[in-house]
Amino acid sequence: MTARLSMRRHLALGSAAVVLLVGGVGGAGMYFLQQASNESLRINTIVNEVQDMRGNLYRQVKEVFDGAFLNDPYAMQQYQQYQRRIDQHFARINAADLNAREREAMNRLEAAYRAVREQTDGILESRSTMSLLQRQKIFDQELEGEGLGEYEDAFRAIERVLLLQQTEQQDRLATLIRLAPLLFIVPLVLAVGLLVFSRFFLSKQV
């Protein structure tokens, strides 16, 4: 009688352990899937911000041309508006919990942009003191040739970092999705085995 009660207690403890195991594995699986999904969303957000910022930069450069060579009275206002948008892009990216690779690439992009900004500010501020030929030379050689060239190099560098991380994250997510059924099947098999064993044992005790 004592042996039977002891075995029943062990079976009850085993059942409880299997239930906890199933719950723990399921919870861990959901946690890792959620983490992978959040990381994928974070990377996609940075990619979109970087691409939108590049578009606003070229719109800003257009306003420099319109102001410096076409005497557009609204060019400076539009230029400053795009500047505010670009500053907001930088603020959102820097708030995105960048890792070391992203931070290094982002620092390079920001430095390249600051160099372009110095050139565009200089062109607009010197409209009344610099000849058209001088402005054209700075715009063509220094801004479009050097400044924007360095910015494009920095843009491609951070784009490569982000695309590589996107690929790595997609691979991790695919692996988790493939393993997810196993994480639930193994504990369930144990539970079924324990149930069959307990019924077999109890039938022997009758």
User: Among all chains, which residue has been given the structure tokens 């606003």?
Assistant: 56
Distance CA 51, CA 92 (A): 13
Distance CA 50, CA 162 (A): 10
User: Among all chains, which residue has been given the structure tokens 């997510």?
Assistant: 173
Q: Which of 56, 180, 70, 189 is nearest to 113 (CA)?
A: 56
Which run of H or E residues covers position 184?
helix 148-205
Using an 8 Å Cβ cutoff, are 105 and 154 in contact? yes
User: Among all chains, which residue has been given the structure tokens 């307990």?
Assistant: 198
Mean pLDDT of 144-158: 95
Using an 8 Å Cβ cutoff, are 86 and 53 in contact? yes
pLDDT tier at 188, thresholds 50, 70, 90: low
* Main-chain phi, psi angles of 96, to 5 degrees: -95, 20
Give 158's DSSP letter: H
Bigger pLDDT: 20 vs 39: 39
Tell me the per-residue pLDDT of 33-86, one tens digit each, with 9 for 90 and over: 778 778 888 999 999 999 999 999 999 999 999 999 998 999 999 999 999 999
Of the ranges 11-20, 69-78, 122-131, 154-163, which one carries the lowest mean pLDDT score?
Answer: 11-20
Mean pLDDT of 88-116: 95
Percentage of the chain exceeding pLDDT 70: 71
What's at 106, amino acid-wise? M
pLDDT tier at 192, thresholds 50, 70, 90: low
Check whether 114 has a pLDDT greater than 60. Answer: yes
Bigger pLDDT: 31 vs 125: 125
| Count of beta carbons in the 10 Å neighbourhood of residue 172 | 15
Mean model confidence pLDDT for the chain: 82
Check whether 101 has a pLDDT greater than 90. Answer: yes
Using an 8 Å Cβ cutoff, are 56 and 85 in contact? yes
Both tokens of residue 121?
Answer: 């500010």
